[in-house]
Structure 1
């Protein structure tokens, strides 16, 4: 079995460190050169804006209370939080984070472990539920629920109305194209729109 002597290992370590330093300095030189050429620094914005934090308004996406809004009151660990939704009928409970959908609303005035009364006052003051109802996500959910309630005859009426709408749109589009094409022909007849 071949073994390195201590002096050989020391020499190899020095050589490896030297090579590492050369590569690192050349990399830094390249980066400096790129920044000097660019002359402008672009500030990057944060991609994530919704964090699991105390006071974050969340929507429950699984379980018997699916679709209801609540507020994070306490973060227990990286997988579970304590939520409370006194105005939406969600009792104070521990729930996994994967069963929650974070909204962009944060309840001001909610502190760690806040009692239900404090949460209720903060909700009445900020009213995040009304703000959430105006978001695209809430409108999409409401539209889906409305479509689920339609009867067979209602779906038939929707089909007929869609056909009428598409027929009106196509006739209007044809008229616009005809007017636009006529305008181009008249301009060409007058001598305009020529290639020079």
Structure 2
């Protein structure tokens, strides 16, 4: 009877392991053969290149994500945070889809980036235009451009003097 119990206790993990197509050592170590997805965000801000890249973007540290898009109450927030600055864009929609998203020119005071100084959509000629070109398997990709106004020491700089061009983002994971 005891021998039968041990035989069954040994057979069940082997059977479950083969059913899940994962080896017992892999299951015990928490490893699998998942594909690591690299997420990127890059753009030029007044001619200065900004690049953010994250290997294995789906498995970033749970308390700090370098590059992500998070579903919040009534909008999605795309953000990139590094030691050198941060970038953020809010998609004001309950349901993110492939398409164009823009900050209106009269939105005033919407923070976008502090790579090379804090910059906002503030004056009527300022704008940020985002295009989500793909949304697959919980990841978004696309492009963006914009014209912003700097703010230094709580004083607005020259209106619409900051240009963002050649902006792109690829495989940015959506977290809910």
TM-score, normalized by length of structure 2? 0.24
**Bigger RCO (CA 8 Å, 6+ sep):** 2
TM-score, normalized by length of structure 1? 0.22
Which is helix-richer, 1 or 2? Answer: 1
Higher Cα radius of gyration: 1
